[in-house]
Amino acid sequence: MSRSCSAIVTGAGSGIGRAVALTLAANGAAVLVADVRQEAADAVVAEITGAGGTAVAFVGDVSDPAVGQAAVDAAEALAPLRIAVNNA
């Protein structure tokens, strides 16, 4: 995987979602860390960027179609979206 792709991970602020986000970033994906909790998303982004990866936080309830589309748009701004993990 190269940084030429992005990934969205929902529920990425803790638990399995966090582990998936960290793994994807370690393998080269630019990760959109989506969670309903700003502090949790920011902490995961800090872990990823601290290790040299690329990540941005996205806060919102992706079960709302408009919010889900905004998440896709934000991920596409990083790199072409190739991976989506719906862990929320």
Specify the CATH number for the domain of residue 24. 3.40.50.720
Q: What is the pTM of this model?
A: 0.94
Tell me the backbone φ, ψ of residue 8, rounded to 5 degrees.
-105, 130
Whole-number percent of the chain with pLDDT over 70: 97
The answer to the question of residue 65 being in a domain is yes
Side chain identity at 15, as an amino acid letter?
G
The answer to the question of residue 15 being in a domain is yes
Whole-number percent of the chain with pLDDT over 90: 94
Parent domain of 10 = 6-85
- 47-71: average pLDDT: 96
The answer to the question of residue 1 being in a domain is no
- 64-85: average pLDDT: 96
4 band by pLDDT with thresholds 50, 70 and 90? confident
- Whether 30 shows a pLDDT value over 60: the answer reads yes
Return mean pLDDT, the chain. Answer: 95
Give the count of domains, the chain: 1
